[in-house]
Amino acid sequence: MATENALYEILTEKIKQDTLVLPTLPEVALKVRSAADDPDINLNQMSDIIAHDPALSLGMLKVANNALMGRSIKVETVPQAVTRIGLIQIKSIATAMAIEQVFVSNNDVVAMYMNKAWVKTIDIASVAISLMNIYLKENKHTSLSLDTITLASLIHNIGVLPILTEAENHPDVFANPTFLQQAIIKLSGRVGGAITRKWGFSEEFTLLAESWSDLTILPSEVHYLDFIRAGAIYHNVFKNESTKVALLNNYTKKGILPEVDYMDSDEFKGMCEDVRAMFI
């Protein structure tokens, strides 16, 4: 117990003192985001940037050929993929694709936890993106966007990374995974907010990273939080049954879900698998 309390206190103090080591955004994501903010950038220049990273190039092709893009003709080159996706969406999607690069560790135990965290993130993102795709078809004038929920859902739990890295320096904590999970639940939101600020993301993304698991924050209007939380419900992150029922009823009233049990349908499960295929 002493080790567990000590780790929690160390994490809390480092957060307060702004000394917790935060992950850096992968270089390719920085380049893409900078280029996307250049008003003079064109599709060919963006394609050249992406083509220098094989993993990102493959990711862009997966996205461009995914059913979500609504095209039946397959694209085979990065320029074709960038053209299909468009410069507006490339910034968020390329960043989202690069996020996996920060879920790494040289420690086998930490690497295992990070891999589990990334897989869970993809699972939740697949639900959030699928629901957003459905919602946008019925609400064409909404300000919500598919590229924003793609990035938001893939960074919503980014705060787990520094906690796992810090735990690596206190190996005794791994003898009690329950405590580690509690530390993540209590602190990952604050840490996630710090990371998104460091990466220069908008306050919208910071709010999502900080608040997605805080169910005292319940937007009255349709919000990106709703889609991420629906994914968390689907993958049993929220344990309280009455809370889950209340949220699902709320999402049905908001028009996020066609019906309360829609996520149990084969149609929806198929959509989630299609989205998931973009990230694995």
Does residue 14 belong to any structural domain of this protein? Answer: yes
Number of domains in the chain: 1
CA 202 to CA 50: how far, in whole Å? Answer: 23
- pLDDT at residue number 13: 85
- Are 87 and 41 in contact by the 8 Å Cβ rule? The answer is yes
pLDDT in tens, the chain (280 residues): 455 567 778 888 888 888 888 889 999 999 999 999 999 999 899 999 999 999 899 888 988 887 666 666 788 899 998 888 888 788 888 898 889 889 988 888 888 889 999 999 999 999 999 999 999 999 999 999 988 999 999 999 999 998 888 888 777 777 777 778 778 888 899 999 999 999 999 999 999 999 999 999 999 999 999 999 999 999 999 989 999 999 999 999 999 999 999 999 999 999 999 899 888 8
Report the amino acid identity of residue 195. I
User: What percent of the residues of the chain are helix, what percent strand, and what percent coil, each to the nearest 5?
Assistant: 70, 0, 30
Burial class (CB in 10 A: 0-12, 13-18, 19+), 107: middle
- pLDDT at residue number 21: 85
CATH number of domain containing 169? 1.10.3210.10
- Are 163 and 184 in contact by the 8 Å Cβ rule? The answer is yes
Does residue 70 belong to any structural domain of this protein? Answer: no
Can you tell me whether residue 25 is helix, strand or coil? coil
CA 250 to CA 221: how far, in whole Å? Answer: 10
Range of the domain at 233: 2-24+103-276
- pLDDT at residue number 181: 79
Does residue 140 belong to any structural domain of this protein? Answer: yes
- pLDDT at residue number 69: 64
Does residue 186 belong to any structural domain of this protein? Answer: yes
Q: If you count them, how many residues does the chain have?
A: 280
- pLDDT at residue number 106: 83
Does residue 65 belong to any structural domain of this protein? Answer: no
- pLDDT at residue number 254: 96
- Are 115 and 187 in contact by the 8 Å Cβ rule? The answer is no
Does residue 89 belong to any structural domain of this protein? Answer: no
pTM of the model: 0.89
- pLDDT at residue number 167: 82
Does residue 73 belong to any structural domain of this protein? Answer: no
Does residue 205 belong to any structural domain of this protein? Answer: yes
